[in-house]
Amino acid sequence: MNIIFVSNSLARSKSITLGHHQAITLVLGWAIMPIIIAAGFYYSTLSSDTVQPKATHLQENLNAMAARLGQLQAQVLRLDAVGERLAKHFGLPEQEFDFRKQPGLGGAESHTPQYQLDAQRLEKELDKFAQQMEKRSESLSVLEAMTLREQVAKSTSPTLQPVSAGWFSSNYGWRLDPFSGKKAFHEGVDFMAETGTPIKAAAGGVVVYSDYHPQYGNMIDIDHGNGMLSRYAHASKRLVKVDDIVLQGQKIAEVGSTGRSTGPHLHFEVLKNGAPQNPARYLQTAG
């Protein structure tokens, strides 16, 4: 087989003589070339189709981890708020428990083998951290609930002195009755105070009695729940009525000398399930 090359740059044409096998090889080469080009195009298309799902899957993982990170950030904010309330309640120093500052971390460089976190390992670490955060959150919530219960118990226990000025003119227990001169049991304490001195609720509760009593004069009873009741007697003026809800420290009456009384004072009682208690024992726990 002869191949003749003709060119303007050549003075005369040139010819190449190919053998039988060489001619067959050349023809096959020209015939296979389109197949090779098509295969290359198909491969490049296939590769791009393979990369696209991988990129989509990676983006989905990133979106999922970003969502999880947002949940963890919300939990951290909640823990910060609970921690600040507890620190304030227990009087902890602000500089020692400042939840707005990142705690200091450090240490020598580790000589143990280190490894990079891939997406799968990172997701596992996030799950593990989320579980730890949930447990810490539950523990702090229980502690906060107990603290709140303690605060409620204190506010409903008659620990506030009912008159800011005054002193005990008669203690709880056995004494000589000022009218009969006989030995009798005094079921409360008497605060010596001027007429008109404000009388405050020793604890929060509901007014269950507000009326004139033959013995106690103008008297007020406040139910604090759990069988606890406080009584205020001999008042010159009552400022609350039955079913009123009062707060600890709220003014409910004024000191007087009504009923069976020798002079201006407040007779104060504390009863537990109807049984008289020593009010001084409760007032000493006010601090």
Q: Please write the tens of the pLDDT for every residue from 188-215.
A: 999 999 999 999 999 999 999 999 999 9
Task: Decide if 209 contacts 223 (C-beta within 8 A).
Answer: no
Which tokens hold the place of 64? 């999922």
pLDDT at 246 over 60: yes
What was the pLDDT predicted at 135? 73
pLDDT at 161 over 90: yes
pLDDT at 268 over 70: yes
pLDDT at 63 over 60: yes
pLDDT at 275 over 80: yes
Q: How far, in Å, CA of 140 to CA of 268, rounded?
A: 39
CATH number of 167-283: 2.70.70.10
The SS3 assignment for 12 reads coil
Q: What is the pLDDT of residues 93-117, one digit of tens each?
A: 665 555 566 666 667 777 777 666 6
pLDDT at 92 over 70: no
Q: What is the pLDDT of residues 7-45, one digit of tens each?
A: 555 555 555 554 544 444 544 444 445 444 454 544 555
Q: Map out the domains of the chain as residue ranges.
A: 2-61, 167-283
E strand or H helix that includes residue 223: strand 217-225
